[in-house]
Amino acid sequence: MKEQESGRWVEWLLPLAFIFTSGWLIWHTPNFILDFLNPDEGLAGQLSELMERKDVTPDMAGLFGGYADMMDWAALILTPLIFIVGVFTVRRASMEYPYMWGCDKIALFVGRITMMLIISMTLVMLYEVFMRYALEAPTLWANELTLWIAGFVFLLSGYYAMQQRSHIRIFILYELMPRWLQHLCDILSVLIISTFAFFLVFGSYKQIFVNKFYKWEMFGTAFDPPIPATIQPLILIVVVLIAVQSFVNLIADWNRDPSEIIGDDIDEEEIEAIKRSVGSN
């Protein structure tokens, strides 16, 4: 059965919708901290004052007697739903790694989200350049927003790169080994990645999720985005995802010829696609 081609409109719309709903959810997370985590009186006062300044819909009453309003709850429900639909509808592009399991679609959809984030970051930078040099009215938020988005791009692209087997690898010795020794090296690599992920999470979970996320630490600028409260927890999440993906890759590639994984051959189709994208004949 021929696989459907990537690039359908839904593969643009769903990542953008996910970015919008998850962005709304992140921006209003203090409301859910107040509703669900029952912070002490001092922290509750700080978060309440923060949301008075940051809430996009300050006049909308909270649901169920809490702080989170109808828009916040809609974002909380829609974000995982959009992600699930996106995972089930994403299609592999011709230049992506051809051998996939069902769980690999999670990384593919994360890759699509990352691509849309790059476009969003570029638009923010262009807007700031226009405002600063054309209208001489620079913004207070563009630099921090670009930095924030770039953090998400850097982390999420690492997870996507692991699934695509496109991370940096040196095969000088690996190619000279017999297959059983290559398997041993593959197992050792997964064990090292998993051990690193375990100790990173074990050693920093409390500091990050209690001191950064629970207290919703902000960046301390005029725009004041919650970069520490979001990026640092995401580091732990992505490291765990990379460790899990490395194990999935190990199982998926166990009986595959190393040349299919390493991909030393020149991809003529990819070269032609690059030529077309830059207008070269």
Share of the chain above pLDDT 90, in %: 66
pLDDT value of residue 217: 93
- pLDDT above 70 for 122: yes
| Interval 187-208 mean pLDDT | 95
| CB 88 within 8 Å of CB 141 | no
DSSP 26-80: HHTHHHHIIIII---HHHHHHHHHHHHHH-SSTTSPBGGGSS-BHHHHHHHHHHH
pLDDT value of residue 260: 64
pLDDT value of residue 1: 38
Domain ranges (residues) in the chain? 142-262
- pLDDT above 60 for 263: no
- pLDDT above 70 for 113: yes
- pLDDT-based confidence at 257, cuts 50/70/90? confident
- pLDDT-based confidence at 144, cuts 50/70/90? very high
- pLDDT-based confidence at 268, cuts 50/70/90? low
Read off the pLDDT of residues 153-184 as tens digits, 9 standing for 90 and up.
999 999 999 999 887 777 778 788 888 898 99
Q: What is the mean pLDDT of the chain?
A: 89
**Smallest Cα–Cα separation from 261: which of 164, 194, 193?**
164
**255 Cβ neighbours under 8 A, 6+ residues apart:** none
**143 Cβ neighbours under 8 A, 6+ residues apart:** 128
- pLDDT above 50 for 2: no
Q: Residues 3, 4, 5, 7: what is their CA dihedral angle, to the nearest 10 degrees?
A: -140
| CB 148 within 8 Å of CB 225 | yes
pLDDT value of residue 101: 84
